[in-house]
Amino acid sequence: MAWLRTSLAMIGFGTTYVKFVEWTEVPANGVAASARPTWHWNEGSIWVGLLMVAIGSISLALAVVQHRVRMRELGRLGMSVGWDLAAWVAIAISLVGAFAFVVLLVGT
């Protein structure tokens, strides 16, 4: 559950950070920010937000894999391993994070 909370915070903060940077972008050459592309590839601050979203999504996916491996090991030791809601929620949030990364990268 700690991975779930931390990854969700990283995905949310990274998304907010990217959108805040886009919102505060200063117009260049008198052109309104809404008439220009949403962001440029060389802006380092955008990459910080995208990296946070990517790290949050990837780390959560890896945590799910690690969790499944440990549950199988417990099952081999004879312990009862049932249906795991936290793993399914983590998978869903990881997919949402991957989708958010793609949307931010493409620039809606």
Each of the 108 residues of the chain gets a pLDDT tens digit; together they read 688 899 999 999 999 988 888 777 655 555 555 555 555 554 677 888 899 999 999 999 999 999 989 988 988 998 887 778 888 999 999 999 999 999 988 875
- Is the whole model's pTM more than 0.95, yes or no? no
d(CA 15, CA 53): 7
- Report the C-alpha gap between 4 and 61 in whole angstroms: 10
Query: How many whole angstroms separate alpha carbon 89 and alpha carbon 1?
Result: 10
What's the token pair of residue 91?
Answer: 């998978």
SS3 26: coil
